[in-house]
Copies of this chain bind each other. A is one copy, B any other.
Amino acid sequence: MSLPILDSINDIRGVIENLPGPDASAEAAANEREPQLTKPAGSLGRLEQIATWLATWQRSHPPALGTVAVHVFAGNHGVTKQGVSAFPSEVTAQMVGNFQAGGAAINQLCKAQGAALQVFPLELDNPTADFSESPAMNEGEFVTAFNVGWNSVHSNMDLLCVGEMGIGNTTAAAAIAHALFGGTGEDWAGPGTGVSGEALSHKASVISAAVETHQGAMTDGLEILRHVGGRELAAMAGAIVAARIQGVPVVLDGYVATAAAGPIAVCAEGALDHCIAGHVSKEPGHRRLLEKLGLDPLLDLDMRLGEASGAAVAIGIIRAAHACHTGMATFAEAGVADKDA
């Protein structure tokens, strides 16, 4: 079941300020089982933490991984008028077509990882406003986009990977990160699909100027997301928040997905505790943004594609963690001598 539609940015704010905390009993059950398994304590490292995290945010032990969802949200951006991307805006819709036809990287990754892909195109013929001039979205547009993600998450999902497609959206990601955490446009701008040299400097200055323009109006994380974000970013934020309520742990993809999550983190402490960073992308701002958010990525493979690809590769690690935690024999079951026995 999905959650009832939210009516306003204030409703969204209220939800984020009242998110459920961790499930202490599921967490305790995972932590109790782990040291009984036939391995030196702690020797599976991060896999052990992932197993506990899964149980904690699924609010149930043992954790399940039968239903893994990958949601890719797509949007177009008025700011592309400023020449911030190497590809034309038409590519967003063309790539959505490629997703629907099964030809993109994310299709192959979902098949390989046993995950169900859903693609959500958000008014691709109606780009957001050019945020170098005016807010990317008015409140109605923002809330509508947020609800697309919010509404996409169902309580029967065991894990959700969140990603995007949108020519121009690394510019939005950099503007959000800059607005959230300061620094300069240069600190947060990167090549995206392939800009460099003067074009990259120009992209950085567009980002700096946009943040300066909207500074006074960006009074909290949600207002940052509305002013310099985009529809697919608002939708990702909606999915991330809904997942917390629905008991669905989330794997964030790259720079743009993390930038969509950032505003939630600054609205309420611990609001991203049900999220894990699937990877750190080659986009230089991503590593910095993950550090600011206290997220430690599972993978570092120089990927920078988006479309949930890094999160999808990380599913394999989460499956590994789940398989070990749920399937291994205990010392007692296997008749293996424990170190302390």
Contacts and interface: CB of A to CB of B under 8 A. Distances in A.
A336 B89 CA distance: 11
A109 B305 contact: no
A206 to B, nearest CB: 20
Interface in A58-97: 86-88, 90-91, 94-95, 97
A4 interface: no
A318 to B, nearest CB: 10
A153 interface: no
A288 interface: no
A199 to B, nearest CB: 12
A327 B111 contact: yes
Nearest to A320: B313
A100 B105 CA distance: 37
Contacts of A37: 105
A301 B324 contact: no
A304 interface: yes
Interface in A100-159: 101-105, 107-109, 111-113
A14 to B, nearest CB: 38
Nearest to A93: B336
A298 B301 CA distance: 7
24 contacts: A37-B105, A40-B86, A43-B303, A43-B304, A44-B303, A45-B304, A86-B339, A94-B335, A94-B336, A94-B337, A98-B329, A98-B336, A101-B334, A103-B329, A103-B333, A104-B334, A105-B328, A108-B326, A108-B327, A108-B328, A109-B320, A193-B339, A194-B339, A313-B317
Interface of A: 37-47, 86-88, 90-91, 94-95, 97-98, 101-105, 107-109, 111-113, 193-194, 282, 298-305, 309, 312-313, 315-317, 319-320, 322-324, 326-329, 333-337, 339
